[in-house]
Amino acid sequence: MSTTMLTLILLIIMIAAFVLSSIKLKSPDISMAVAAVVLAIAGTIAVPELGNPVRYLVEGLFVNLDLALLFIAASIFVNIYAHSGAIAAITRGVVEKINNKWILMSIMGVLMLIPGALTGAGSVAIFVLGGLVNTVLEYLGISQKKRTVFICFFAMLSAACPPINLWTMLMTAQANMPYVGFTWLLLIPIVIAGAFTIVFVGWGAKPQNKEETLAKFPPKDPKLKWWRIVLPFVAIVGLFLLALYDPWGLPVLGLPLMFLIAGLVALLCNPKKTTFKEYLGILDDTMEQVFPLVANVLSIGVLQSAMAATGVRGLIGSTAVGLPLVLIYVLIIIVGPICQGCFNYGVSIVLGGPLIFMFNTLGMDVTVICAALSLIFPLGDTLPPSRIVGRLACETTEYKESYLSFFKTLVLPMLFLGAMGVAMMVLHSKLAFLY
């Protein structure tokens, strides 16, 4: 039997295990872990040289450990900050002062872009601002489904937004290209897609009565001065900027520690008298709140590791690259996001890197192609098995209907951004003036 056929059989076994486990256990997270265990065992039986399958599974648990720590730390920061009443106070201020729906939505969109643009992770944008944006959009009379779409889509855009776009960084690193010239190539499509989404979400929405909305907020705490509200945000944004623009003047803190430091600042700025036991309660609640997401990223790591060890990951990448050029243009909008759903940032290595080399061989402008791919891949953050950003957005707005019903509404902005990415790939030579 050829190696390709053997790997294909392993891929089918993995998919079967995932589907059966999903039906039986009704949890995509544990289903990914089960699929990884089955794949690792089947791979070791088929190719005994692979050795002990436990090794791949345990190594896989460490693939996304930093991401899991980031989710936990960011949630701790946000929950301590929210406990102080600061988020409610900011929302109240925004609703009181700005009357125009479109201006308010544009401000929310720009604000959501900042955390992801500085960290490279869309989930951070939801953790930091998701709750606030949800409340403001609710005041604007936007339905729960469209609020979830807004938060989810802007979180995806924030991950792709310069200066930190991890997909581009990984692809350029793999192709020995400088990470230079991407600012406008990424920013212009993001602004266009963002404007489209604002119109799509805000169309027809009628703002609620301002007085009634303000009455729903908790009363103003006189002890909550402006500096208590601003300082935690200044701390986190300051640390992001320092790490970005003065990397040698600061020890490498890492995002989880940055969020914990900001959490400590939020704790010190809290005007409420909160006992140690209450803080422990907040920590316990945070852990329970964020656990499904932690389980999700750890399970993806296990699956990635098993797929890499058995060659399934390589099979997907090499098959995609071997397709005719026209088919790549047609399929990238589907295959790219699906691979992102499976591998997260690993899609840049599995699919992005080989595609860059292939387009380079054809004499195409790889800087534009790389930017285009970096706009298409983030769309997969809403696709199974991981659907990290989609899930987080649903949790933030407490969207209880089926995920599919939310996804159907999200498809239009996603297609708009995807189509722009494909157009950039096709018209690569005409867009070179942007860098």
Partner 1 sequence: MVFFENVIHILYFVMAGLVGFSMCKSLFRRKKNKGFVFDAMYAYCLIPFLLRVLYIK
Which residues bind to partner 1, rule: CB under 8 A?
A: 25-27, 29-30, 33, 58, 61-62, 65, 68-69, 72-73, 251-254, 256-257, 260, 283-285, 287-288, 291-292, 294-295, 298
Determine the 3-state secondary structure of 178 from DSSP: coil
Q: How far is the CB of 141 from partner 1 (least distance, A)?
A: 31
Quote the CA–CA distance of 390 and 384 in Å, as a whole number.
9
Minimal distance, residue 132 CB to partner 1, in Å:
24
With respect to partner 1, which residue has the nearer C-beta, 76 or 371? 76
Residues constituting the chain: 435
Of 55 and 207, which CB lies nearer to partner 1 in the complex structure? Answer: 55
- We find the least distance from the C-beta atom of residue 19 to partner 1, in angstroms, to be 16
CB of 301 to partner 1, least distance (A): 9
Residue with tokens 């479109």: 102
Q: Which lies closer to partner 1 via its Cβ, residue 179 or residue 291?
A: 291
Query: Is 8 or 253 the residue whose CB approaches partner 1 more closely?
Result: 253
Closest approach of partner 1 to the CB of residue 185, in Å: 35
Q: 188 and 161 in contact (C-beta within 8 Å)?
A: no
Burial of 12 (0-12, 13-18, 19+ CB in 10 A): exposed
Instruction: Quote the least distance from Cβ 31 to partner 1, whole Å.
Output: 10
Tell me whether residue 168 or residue 286 sits nearer to partner 1 (CB atom).
286
Whether 110 contacts 102, CB under 8 Å: no
Tokens of 428: 């690569």
Q: Count of CB atoms within 10 A of residue 296's CB?
A: 25
Distance CA 20, CA 335 (A): 23
For partner 1, the closer of residues 94 and 257 by Cβ is: 257
Question: In which region does residue 26 sit, left (phi positive, over 0), alpha (psi from -120 to 50) or beta (all else)?
Answer: left
Cα 124 from chain centre? 8
* Least gap, CB of 291 to partner 1 (angstroms): 7
Phi first, then psi, for residue 362 (nearest 5°) are -80, 0
Nearer to partner 1, 71 or 407 (CB): 71
Tokens of 59: 């190594």
CA 261 to chain centre: 22
The distance of closest approach from Cβ of residue 225 to partner 1 in the complex, given in angstroms and rounded to an integer, is 30
End-to-end CA distance of the chain: 49
DSSP class of residue 248 equals T
**Among residues 36 and 366, whose Cβ is nearest to partner 1?**
36
Fill in the DSSP letter of residue 207: P
263 versus 352: smaller Cβ distance to partner 1: 263
Question: In angstroms, rounded to a whole number, what is the distance separating the alpha carbons of residues 66 and 62?
Answer: 8
Minimum distance of partner 1 from residue 424's CB (angstroms) = 39
CB of 247 to partner 1, least distance (A): 12
What is the Cα–Cα distance from 19 to 416, expressed in whole angstroms? 30
Which region, left, alpha or beta, applies to residue 294 given φ > 0 means left and ψ of -120 to 50 means alpha? alpha
- Of 372 and 388, which has the nearer Cβ to partner 1? 388
Distance, CA of 147 to CA of 79 (rounded, Å): 21
Token reading at 119: 């960290």
